[in-house]
């Protein structure tokens, strides 16, 4: 008896320690997933805002701006993979992350990474020629030559990922357990990781640093002699070139931070958090701050708050902007007709946006519901309980109401329908211009994209066994997937494509007709998926104590009529149920 009690105590202590370790491990997983998600999320915002800045800023209507545009697109591609794949896979601790989807996303990640690397080098050479031989720089980096250079950059990047088409031997995948990207443990994996990734990145960095160093020396020499021969115009141009060079150097420092941490510092310690912060986080934060640097150097409020009316007078000095006007991201005409700006028209416009934003967040709630129901069925009942569903519905409308609060300042900010142009028009005040840019454009696109990507990720991760076991849940997922996809198309069409069209009928179609068609199709999708003639027949009165769940849970599937009577006897746990 004296030997049994200590054994029991020892066993109990071990079990408590193991449970504590598992809890800490889960907290670490949630923290790592949150870091990946938010860095990628804000990185996408910075780079998308940087793309908009490059397209709108007249100073960047040149080869440097075009190269920055290509660079920001490549940054967005890397962060997009982290956002839709690395963060969710880390959160659910996905075991099967070496499938075809993971390999394709890894291939896309490397493509965008190599495009960033060679874009850095192209930007460095652009700065060197602009400082060294400014008279010839406009010819060397003409519009045609710049497009050729960008095409070469992406072609070389594609050549780097060509071996990745041999998916069984050459690939890179994300490991959700270690929170890192790993190459294939094969000879081909060793070759692509060593020669086409490590050596290439280091060689490009050395070449880029050498070119930047020579550019710096030229700037110092020019600075010593510029006060003798420089005019006011040349001084202004020189300041712009120096600002571009400072941006290139700062982005080069971020590039050095990434490759130094990824290829050297991460090998100094085997601690999981150390490796994560010096490899995955370093990779991600570099592309995030890259976009922030572009915004920091070139963002000007007047670019976005300027009157974009087609009848607005143009500056005679900005010839570059007149030759190549930027395509604005807009979904509303901004020349308001005074005949429709009554109080009633403003209230109706406010109500119109209230319904729009409530619908945006409703799609997000439905997408999260499908994600939990199919990938975490054991948690569905607690997360999406009856009270929680009521809370989500109320929160959706509260968020929609918060988005239309600025429209209560009817004199400064309002949206009304103009029968003369067949469009919804918005006032031209600074408050309304800021509201239009941040809320109507960026927020709508970001939330709609998140909803669609959550549905896409759920569809990609759900297994065939889960589809066979839960056909009703899968049917609901398909319906929400196509509805969120249609909503995203409507948002992008009215928010982006409308900025590229000028004809009256074209604007009417891409702004008004597209939304009417979407709402019509949205209702038809619900009818096609859920309408049955039995629903119109008389139904017996249910017991008052009977409870109808707000959402279909996995625990209740044995009561559904499409399951066989021996469902409970043959029921077994799938891989999704074990998460």
Across 513-536, average pLDDT: 77
Question: What gap in Å lies between CA 334 and CA 428, rounded to an integer?
Answer: 6
- In sequence order, the 6+-apart residues with CB closer than 8 A to the CB of 530 are 479
Do residue 514 and residue 432 come from a single domain? yes
Would you say residue 10 lies in a domain? no
Whether residues 208 and 353 share a domain: the answer is: no
Is beta strand 180-183 parallel, antiparallel or unpaired with respect to 415-418?
A: unpaired
pLDDT of 363-413, one tens digit each? 888 888 888 888 877 777 878 888 888 888 888 888 888 888 887 877 778
Among positive and negative, which fits the CA dihedral 147, 152, 155, 160? negative
DSSP for 450-509? HHHHHHHHHHHH--HHHHHH-HHHHHHHHHHHHHHHHHHHHHHHHHTGGGT--SHHHHHI
Global pTM?
0.54
**What pLDDT does 277 receive?**
92
CATH of the domain at 391: 1.20.1070
Domain boundary among 299, 330, 357: 299
151 pLDDT above the threshold of 90: yes
Specify whether the CB–CB gap between 339 and 424 falls below 8 A.
no
180: which strand partners? 175
Q: Give the residue from 63, 48, 153, 145 showing the smallest Cα distance to 111.
A: 153
Q: What is the pLDDT of residues 60-75, one digit of tens each?
A: 888 888 999 999 999 9
Gap between the Cα atoms of 570 and 557, Å rounded:
13
- Mean pLDDT of all residues belonging to the chain: 76
- Evaluate whether residue 438 is within a structural domain: yes
In the prediction, which pLDDT does 517 show? 86
pLDDT score of 338 more than 70: no
Contact (Cβ atoms closer than 8 angstroms) between residue 192 and residue 164: yes
Same domain, 277 and 415: no
Residues 131 and 275 in one domain: yes
| 419-to-71, 344, 353, 391, 422 alpha-carbon distances in Å | 42, 15, 18, 39, 5
In a domain, 577, yes or no: no
Final residue in a domain of this structure, among 274, 299, 324: 299
Bridge partners, residue 415, by sequence: 426
- Of the residues 299, 314, 330, which one is the last residue of a structural domain? 299
Structural domain includes residue 368? yes
Across 116-124, average pLDDT: 92
How many domains are there within the chain? 2
Asked if 458 and 404 count as a contact pair (C-beta separation under 8 A), the reply is no
**Tally of CA atoms within 13 A in the half-sphere of 8 that contains its CB:** 5
Helices (H), 57-83: 63-81
CATH number (domain holding residue 120): 1.20.1070.10
Q: Output the six-digit token pair for 541.
A: 């009165």
Residue 423 φ/ψ, nearest 5 degrees? -135, 160
What does the DSSP assignment read for 210-230?
A: HHHHHHHHHHHHHHHHHHHH-
Contact 30, 176 (CB under 8 A): no
Domain of 386 in residue numbering reads as: 338-532+548-566
Structure tokens at 485: 């996809």
Q: Are residues 425 and 527 in the same domain?
A: yes
> Is the same domain home to 353 and 286?
no
Q: Is residue 204 part of a domain?
A: yes
Instruction: Please indicate, yes or no, whether residues 380 and 263 belong to a single structural domain of this protein.
Output: no
Q: Is residue 40 part of a domain?
A: yes
Whether residues 266 and 398 share a domain: the answer is: no
Number of Cα atoms under 13 Å in the Cβ half of residue 328: 18
Compute the distance between CA of residue 252 and CA of residue 289 in angstroms, rounded to an integer.
Answer: 11
Q: How far is it, in rounded angstroms, from Cα 363 to Cα 451?
A: 6
In a domain, 245, yes or no: yes
Average of pLDDT values for 524-542?
A: 65
The whole-number pLDDT of residue 361 equals: 87
pLDDT over threshold 50, residue 257: yes
Q: Are residues 378 and 282 in the same domain?
A: no
User: Is there a single domain that holds both residue 111 and residue 181?
Assistant: yes
Residues 373 and 453 in one domain: yes
- Kindly state whether residues 128 and 180 are assigned to the same domain: yes
Compute the average pLDDT of residues 85-97: 82
């Amino acid at each position: 008896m004296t030997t049994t009690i200590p054994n029991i105590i020892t066993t109990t202590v071990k079990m408590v320690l193991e449970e504590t370790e598992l809890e800490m491990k889960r907290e670490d997983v949630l923290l790592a997933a949150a870091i990946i998600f938010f860095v990628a999320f804000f990185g996408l915002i910075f780079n998308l805002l940087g793309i908009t800045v490059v397209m709108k800023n007249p100073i960047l209507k040149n080869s440097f701006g075009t190269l920055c545009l290509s660079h920001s697109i490549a940054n967005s591609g890397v962060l997009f993979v982290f956002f839709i794949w690395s963060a969710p896979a880390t959160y659910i601790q996905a075991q099967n992350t070496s499938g075809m989807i993971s390999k394709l996303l890894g291939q896309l990640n490397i493509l965008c990474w190599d495009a960033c690397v060679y874009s850095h080098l192209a930007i460095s050479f652009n700065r060197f020629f602009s400082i060294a031989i400014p008279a010839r720089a406009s010819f060397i980096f003409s519009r045609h030559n710049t497009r050729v250079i960008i095409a070469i950059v992406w072609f070389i990047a594609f050549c780097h990922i060509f071996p990745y088409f041999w998916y069984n031997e050459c690939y890179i995948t994300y490991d959700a357990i270690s929170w890192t990207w790993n190459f294939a443990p094969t000879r081909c994996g060793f070759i692509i990781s060593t020669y086409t990734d490590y050596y290439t990145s280091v060689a490009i960095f050395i070449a880029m640093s050498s070119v930047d160093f020579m550019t710096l020396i030229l700037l110092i020499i020019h600075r010593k002699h510029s006060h003798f021969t420089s005019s006011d115009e040349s001084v202004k141009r020189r300041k712009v070139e120096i600002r571009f060079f400072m941006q290139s150097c700062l982005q080069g420092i971020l590039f050095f931070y990434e490759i130094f941490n990824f290829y050297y510092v991460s090998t100094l310690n085997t601690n999981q958090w150390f490796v994560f912060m010096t490899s995955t986080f370093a990779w991600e934060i570099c592309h995030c701050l890259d976009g922030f640097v572009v915004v920091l150097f070139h963002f000007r409020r007047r670019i976005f708050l300027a009157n974009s009316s087609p009848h607005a007078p143009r500056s005679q000095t900005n010839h570059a902007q007149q030759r190549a006007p930027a395509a604005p991201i807009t979904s509303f005409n901004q020349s308001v007709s005074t005949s429709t700006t009554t109080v009633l028209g403003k209230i109706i416009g406010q109500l119109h946006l209230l319904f729009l934003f409530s619908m945006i967040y409703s799609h997000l709630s439905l997408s999260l519901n499908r994600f939990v129901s199919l990938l975490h069925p054991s948690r569905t009942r607690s997360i999406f309980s009856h009270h929680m569903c009521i809370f989500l519905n109320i929160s959706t409308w509260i968020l929609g109401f918060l988005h239309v609060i600025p429209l209560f300042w009817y004199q400064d900010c309002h949206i009304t329908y103009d029968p003369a142009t067949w469009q919804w028009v918005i006032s031209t005040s600074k408050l309304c211009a800021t509201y239009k840019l941040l809320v109507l454009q960026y927020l709508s696109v970001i939330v709609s994209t998140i909803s669609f990507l959550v549905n896409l990720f759920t569809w990609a991760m759900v297994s065939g066994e889960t589809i066979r076991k839960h056909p009703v849940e899968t049917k609901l997922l398909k319906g929400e997937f196509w509805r969120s996809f249609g909503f995203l198309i409507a948002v992008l069409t009215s928010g982006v494509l409308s900025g590229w069209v000028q004809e009256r009928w074209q604007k009417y179609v891409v702004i008004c007709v597209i939304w009417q068609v979407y709402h019509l199709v949205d209702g038809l999708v619900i009818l096609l998926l859920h309408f049955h003639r039995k629903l119109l027949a008389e139904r017996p009165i249910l017991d008052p104590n009977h409870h109808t769940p707000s959402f279909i849970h996995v625990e209740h599937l044995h009561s559904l009529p499409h399951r066989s009577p021996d469902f409970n006897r043959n029921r077994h746990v799938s891989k999704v149920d074990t998460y």
